Amino acid sequence: MLRLSLIMAIWTVDNLTEMRRSLLQWYAQQGRTLPWRNEPDIYRVWISEIMLQQTQVKTVIPYYERWLAQFPTVAALAAADLQTVLKLWEGLGYYARARNLHQAAQQVVGDFGGQFPEDVENILRLKGIGRTTAGGILSSARNLPLAILDGNVKRVLARLIALEVPPAKALDELWDVSEQLLDRDNSRDFNQALMDLGATLCTVKKPNCPHCPWQSYCAAYLKHRPTDFPRRAPKKQIPTKKLVAAIALNFDQQIFIQQRPQDGLLGGLWEFPNQEGDIQALLAYLFPGAQYERSLNTVFHAYTHFKIEIEPRIYRVDLTGAGWVEQKQLSHYPFSKAHLKIIEQLQEPQLNLSL
């Protein structure tokens, strides 16, 4: 394994000084303009850092703007109902992030008097914040000399040192590199520049090496094999779960929905009852006497570790009570993307659900 001592044997102090200078110069000319850049409000920076986890900037920006319009302060977020938080997050994915934001905001109010902590030890106590998120928040909002190691940065550094194993197997080494490269006098711009380098030039496919400020220092480029890095772990076969969802309609034109447990995948979201395989037992339990009417188009969705195919089936039932809502009320509840696709079909004009 390439340890820091070997890296430092290759990069002299002058090398490191020039690398920092050239990256910051490139950033001053080519860096992206983003709404959370140079933002002194640590709460706003925190929201952006969490939203940007595993999500592209162009997707995040409208969510970020809507979020701050509804929850302008950490106190406003802490006081909000979790369902309201999840509804605002709807469609952004990885819903544990929203639940963690809500819980962490309540920690800030309860444990820190409403003042967001500005030191590493305390910020790491907040739900959903790890080392790289803490570094991103505190370097961006307070210019503290803290390194980062997000997905873009891992790719840049793995190419820079031509790392011969997948990044996940060399996190200590990559943290060493990130720490040593960091411009401690200008960590805010340096970390933002490093992320921009990965997002705009050192991309997964077709990296733009001719315009990279670190071209002459990049081991992968000097080997003429930049796309061979980062090394990839062997691909695991992603299983597909085939589900049937029961879209139950009663004679008042109401639809039945249920809430998922607060913990786990999609915790706290609402959905149509669904089951893998035979749905008859579920129907008998929830909707005795249900009459099948028709099926809608199969819905496909991919999660990190598995895929799902959902066949939505419409059933007519003679029931009412808790869980039954009018179709127009569905927009009041937070649903996963897969179930939102079912709702889209239910709202198509050509689908006449009336009796």
Give the catalytic positions in this structure.
49
Using the 8-state DSSP alphabet, how is residue 335 labeled?
B
**Tokens found for residue 118:** 């500005």
Distance CA(204)–CA(193), nearest Å, equals 17
C-alpha 164/C-alpha 170 separation (Å) is 9
What tokens appear for 48 in the block? Answer: 């952006």
Sort strands 240-249 and 307-316 into parallel, antiparallel or unpaired.
Answer: parallel
Confirm if 188 and 42 have CB atoms less than 8 A apart: no
Q: Whats the size of the chain, residue-wise? A: 355
- 275 with 244: CB under 8 angstroms? yes
Of residues 248, 243, 263, the one with CA closest to residue 323 = 248
Q: In sequence order, which residues have a C-beta less than 8 Å from that of residue 325 and are 6 or more positions away? A: 254, 255, 256, 257, 333
